[in-house]
Structure 1
């Protein structure tokens, strides 16, 4: 199916819906959904962003700015996944409990405001990764227009670029809880520590990165091609000092580099050991 045809199908889907509430994180996927929904539905589309300790303050600001640029009405709500021990204990299906909390908050809001549909930014590629949160959203009746039509992550970026959205290259930014190995308890203090560390590195000019946290150790992940530059041109001692001020004791650099989904490689290893 041609890209233009997929975009037309996406528009037609919103025509059929007539009204839609978008679970809007400010990421490139949900922002494209919000843009197309607004173009089709105008004020009958509402973007809702959940604010919690697992969301970087920068991401909340970006979401508000992008919504204003699109023109869509935007509402910020509070979610309370940090009060659920099933979430904070950080099991392998942690995202299930996060999305359960999100959609258990969005669905009543949609009903209250008269929106028959809650839609999210899940794309076709997400269906092929380990994403327990998708199940939680489906159980609560949420729809995923991008996935329904078969729009991949690369196509999301391509369509966004063609529509003139300036953030079409925006790096993926999953919630901060994804920075911790499964089984390590998540606390607000740990989330804030990781968030401050990532903001610090972004201000140095490194945008596509992760700071993984394990105990008192921070592991910096950068794209492989940026590792040499980082070592040679960055004041490493300043970074260590800053990270220690944030609360880490040790600071390391991952020589493999950043790779999306790296947290799940432990799951693949466990599956392989069972076979």
Structure 2
């Protein structure tokens, strides 16, 4: 399954000879790390950037997956929380996040002798509003999955065919994506929403989001899971736990989880502008 695209990916890494992988531990960058290591061995290096927007549990997953693959793995710290262009949470927040990431990785790659920095952007990512992709391109990063035309579904299919146990791991973008544009991002808010999601995942609800707007938490679940959640969960315990974390109001999104839902405000604004 996807054997032709796997071969194309391998060819890219053969031509690179050495590569540093921007490795978050998500299914996309982990597949890139796996193929890079299969081709380049120790000439491939996975680097994970640590900041308050990455949950400690996600870092542990990244370490375990890298060790399973065998690829060398390093940790670096990024300082996007010190940049008001990021913490003010503008619509292009991801641009400043990825700028910080690649401004950290590019000199590291040069210092260690890696001619390329590679990320896990896939073909579907190019269809969404992703200002971070621009920042990465400006700094010379390459995206083999996108170059070969590998979709998100194909990432999972290829990962499964390669025997990667985490092929169906839920997507876990930066925690800052849980806040509406314009609401200031703080370390405390990131930790609060992160702890809320971990709490629900430990109860067995893996694919979810906890969106945060001021003092209100909005739980998003796959639409087909909403009824089960209401019938099976101890709602009082959920509410009390969220309130202990610092939320005042706890709500359930009846539409369910949709990736990139907070970007709808961008479409709405563009429609209003377009209509004069």
Q: Same fold (TM over 0.5)?
A: yes
Q: TM-score, normalised by structure 1?
A: 0.99
Match of 1:120 in 2: 119
Tell me by how many angstroms 1:57 deviates. 1.2
Q: C-alpha separation between the residues in 2 aligned to 1:239 and 1:107?
A: 43
Q: Does 2:272 correspond to 1:273?
A: yes
Match of 2:182 in 1: 183
1:148 is paired with a residue of what secondary structure? helix
Q: C-alpha separation between the residues in 2 aligned to 1:50 and 1:39?
A: 23
**Equivalences for residues 90-239 of structure 1 within 5 A:** 90-239=89-238
Tell me the matched-pair count.
274
**Equivalences for residues 32-51 of structure 1 within 5 A:** 32-51=31-50
Tell me by how many angstroms 1:3 deviates. 2.2
Q: C-alpha separation between the residues in 1 aligned to 2:142 and 2:244?
A: 43
1:76 is paired with a residue of what secondary structure? strand
Q: C-alpha separation between the residues in 2 aligned to 1:70 and 1:207?
A: 24
Tell me by how many angstroms 1:274 deviates. 1.3
Q: TM-score, normalised by structure 2?
A: 0.98
Q: C-alpha separation between the residues in 1 aligned to 2:124 and 2:220?
A: 23
Q: C-alpha separation between the residues in 1 aligned to 2:152 and 2:209?
A: 19
Tell me by how many angstroms 1:125 deviates. 0.7
Match of 1:26 in 2: 25
After superposition, the C-alpha distances for 1:80-137 in whole angstroms (9 at most, x for unaligned) are 0000000000000000000000000000100000000000000011111100000000
Match of 2:254 in 1: 255
Tell me by how many angstroms 1:4 deviates. 1.3
Q: C-alpha separation between the residues in 2 aligned to 1:238 and 1:29?
A: 35
2:225 is paired with a residue of what secondary structure? helix
Match of 1:56 in 2: 55
2:49 is paired with a residue of what secondary structure? strand
1:99 is paired with a residue of what secondary structure? helix
Tell me by how many angstroms 1:5 deviates. 1.1
Q: C-alpha separation between the residues in 1 aligned to 2:231 and 2:124?
A: 36
Q: C-alpha separation between the residues in 2 aligned to 1:3 and 1:161?
A: 11
1:115 is paired with a residue of what secondary structure? coil
Match of 2:88 in 1: 89
Q: C-alpha separation between the residues in 1 aligned to 2:2 and 2:73?
A: 28
Tell me by how many angstroms 1:56 deviates. 1.2
Structure 1 unaligned segments of length 5 or more: list them.
none
State the 4+ residue runs in structure 1 displaced beyond 2 angstroms: none
Q: C-alpha separation between the residues in 2 aligned to 1:249 and 1:73?
A: 44
Structure 2 unaligned segments of length 5 or more: list them.
none
Q: C-alpha separation between the residues in 2 aligned to 1:256 and 1:149?
A: 34
Structure 1 vs Structure 2 CA RMSD: 0.7
After superposition, the C-alpha distances for 1:188-245 in whole angstroms (9 at most, x for unaligned) are 0000000000000000000000000000000000001111111111110101110011
Q: C-alpha separation between the residues in 1 aligned to 2:177 and 2:2?
A: 31
